[in-house]
Amino acid sequence: MSEEVSFYENKEVCRVCGGECCQYAPGKTAPEDWGAPNIEIMEFVISRVLTATDKWRLRKYFQSDGGYLYIKPSVHNDKVGYLGPCIFWDPDSGCELIASIRPYECRMLIPGGHDKCELADGMSTVEIVRLWEDYQTMMCLWVEKHGLTVYED
Ligand code: SF4
Ligand code: SF4
């Protein structure tokens, strides 16, 4: 991850909300969260994280133009589904991760309270998945090479 990491954190607003977004589904990461554009770092980090812990999932997001492989945290009490409380969410203390190392979608969400939170730059969730577009060929190779499991959205 680059040293200049953007995030929008407002603990007061999120404390009142109680983690509505985190309880619905984990946020999506972007390639930069894993060392992009450096392919060697990406392969090293992704292959180890996905095989050494149960906290992250390699998922396939289907669009009309095909499926996009991307990574997001796993869900509490559900090893397959993608909806549900994020594995890093704690009912008492909120997100276990410091703001600068949270998934891209979490960092880009500007807290506004119930129904008033927006992704910075007006990005949609699909546009975040498409940030992975240039890495799809490499990701497919890593699935084979490292025996990674792909979970479908
Ligand atoms: S980002 Fe928004 S939905 Fe998520 S906890 Fe904060 S206020 Fe609630
Ligand atoms: S990583 Fe943290 S901020 Fe993002 S969904 Fe999970 S608990 Fe919420």
Number of domains, the chain = 1
Rounded CA separation 150/59 (Å): 5
| pTM for the whole structure | 0.93
Atom of ligand 2 at shortest range from CA of 105: 4
Q: Is residue 65 part of a domain?
A: yes
**CA pair distance 116, 55, nearest whole angstrom:** 28
CA distances (Å), origin 83, targets 7, 10, 17, 23, 25? 23, 24, 19, 8, 5
Nearest atom in ligand 1 to 13's CA: 7
- Answer whether residue 3 is part of any domain: no
* Within-domain flag for 42: yes
105 occurs within a structural domain: yes
Average pLDDT, the chain: 92
Question: Does residue 4 lie in a domain region?
Answer: no
- Residue 2 in domain: no
Which residue's CA is minimally distant from atom 2 of ligand 1?
Answer: 111
pLDDT digits (tens, 9 = 90+) for 69-85: 999 999 997 766 778 99
Out of 97, 107, 110, give the residue to mutate to test ligand 2, the one with the largest number of ligand atoms within 8 Å of its CB.
Answer: 97
Task: Pick the atom of ligand 1 nearest to 117's CA.
Answer: 2
- Cα(42)–Cα(83) distance, integer angstroms: 26
Q: What is the pLDDT of residues 56-65, one digit of tens each?
A: 999 999 877 7
Domain that holds residue 103: 11-152
Q: Is residue 70 part of a domain?
A: yes
